[in-house]
Amino acid sequence: MSEERIVNYWKENEEEQIINLSLRPQNLSEFIGQEGISSSLSISIEAAKKRTEPLEHLLLSGPPGLGKTSLAHCISKEMNAKFTATSGPAIERAGDLVGILTNLEAGDILFIDEIHRLSRVIEEFLYPAMENFQIDFIIDKGPYAKSVKFNLKPFTLIGATTRKGLLSAPLRGRFGLFFDFDFYLPEDLAVIVRRSAKLLDVEIDEGSALEIARRSRGTPRLCNRLLKRARDYAQVLGKGIIDADITRESLDKIGVDKQGLDDLDRKYLKAIINLHKGGPAGIEAIAATLSEDRLTLEDVVEPYLLKEGFIVRTPRGRIVTELSYRHLNISCNKES
C-alpha cells in the first residue's frame, strides 16, 4: 500500500533522482530554510578555509526529505572539495570501507546516508579514521594474521540519519558538529516551489505556490513532487500555467488534502478513532489494523502528525487530538 503513496518522500525513483539533481541548490546561499543551520555552517566553513583545514566531521539528522543530502552537496561546493557518497547498508564489509577511505584525497568529503545502519564492525574501522585519519586492517588469519596500518589523508565525514537515537554513543561522540533538521514553514516551501518552477520552466502564481507549500508536509522533496504533478495537470488540462484551480484539482485528485494528509494518514487516524475509541492505541495494533510495517508508521506517518498536533504519544500508546476529529469531520465522542 505505502509504496504507491504520493507522499512517500523518503523514496525516489530514478526519474525523480535525475530531476531532483537539477533542482538541488548549488551553495549555501541557494539553500532555503533551516536558517540556524546555514548560518552556523557558514561560520564553520569560513573558519576551516582560513585555517586551510578540512571541515569538522558533522552529523545531519531529521526526517527524510528535508534536504540533508542537498546540504552535504552545498558544503562540498563551499569547501571546493570532491564529494563521495555512499550509505550505511551499502557498506557490507570492512574492505569496502577501506577502499573508499584510501581513495579520498586531502579535504575530500565522504557522505554516508543512513549512517545509523552501519554494522558495529564497520563502525570500529571508522573510529580511528575519524580521530587520527588512520585505519588498522587485519590481513591473513590465525598465526599468520597481522595488522597493517593505513595512513589516510585528512577528510570530512558527513553522516545523515533519520534516527539519531540508533547511533552508538562512540560513533556519535566522534562528530564535531551536529545539526537537527526540522519541518519547513509554508513560506519557505513557497520560495522553493517558485525556484523549482523556474528551473522546470513552468509558470506559477504566488497563491498556487503557497497552496502547494501548505500541502507538502513541511518537506521540500514532497514539495517538488507535488509541483511536478500540478505541472502535468497544467500542461494537459490547462494552458501550461499553474493557477489556483489547477493546483486544487491536481492535489485533490491524488488524495493530498489541505493539511498535507493522504489516504494512509487518514486511515491511521480513523483506525484509532473507530477501533480504539480515540486511543490510547499501541503502534503494533495500529500497524496490524492497517497491514503496514511498524517502522513505516513510526518513521514516515507519525512525525508529521505529531508535529501538527493530530496525535500525541503517551506511555500507553497513541491518542488522537481534537484537531483530528475536526479535520475528519467526526464528532468528538469516544463512545461513538
Task: Grade residue 21 by pLDDT with cuts at 50, 70 and 90.
Answer: low
* Residue range 121-133, pLDDT digits in tens: 888 888 989 998 9
DSSP-H helix ranges across the chain = 14-23, 35-50, 68-78, 94-102, 120-132, 169-172, 186-199, 206-214, 220-237, 244-253, 263-276, 283-290, 294-296, 302-307, 322-327
Say whether pLDDT at 114 is over 70.
Answer: yes
Say whether the peptide bond before residue 25 is cis (omega within 30 degrees of 0): no
Known catalytic membership, residue 215 = no
Q: Once rounded to an integer, what is the mean pLDDT over residues 64-79?
A: 91
Using CA atoms, how far apart are residues 226 and 212, in angstroms rounded to an integer? 7
| Mean per-residue pLDDT of the chain | 86
Instruction: Write down the catalytic residue from 69, 156, 161, 321.
Output: 69
Known catalytic membership, residue 221 = yes
Instruction: Write down the catalytic residue from 68, 217, 228, 318.
Output: 68
CATH topology of domain 34-180: Rossmann fold (3.40.50)
Known catalytic membership, residue 253 = no
CATH topology of domain 186-253: Helicase, Ruva Protein; domain 3 (1.10.8)
Using CA atoms, how far apart are residues 324 and 271, in angstroms rounded to an integer? 12
Sign of CA dihedral 185, 226, 163, 290: positive
Using CA atoms, how far apart are residues 43 and 36, in angstroms rounded to an integer? 11
Instruction: Write down the catalytic residue from 156, 161, 162, 296.
Output: 162
CATH topology of domain 263-327: Arc Repressor Mutant, subunit A (1.10.10)
Known catalytic membership, residue 69 = yes
Using CA atoms, how far apart are residues 79 and 86, in angstroms rounded to an integer? 19
Please state the domain extents for the chain.
34-180, 186-253, 263-327
Instruction: Write down the catalytic residue from 215, 217, 221, 231.
Output: 221
pTM above threshold 0.85: no
Known catalytic membership, residue 162 = yes
Q: What is the pLDDT of residue 336?
A: 41
279-291 burial, b if ≥16 CB within 10 A, otherwise e? bbbeeebbbebbe
* Residue range 213-234, pLDDT digits in tens: 999 988 998 999 999 999 998 8
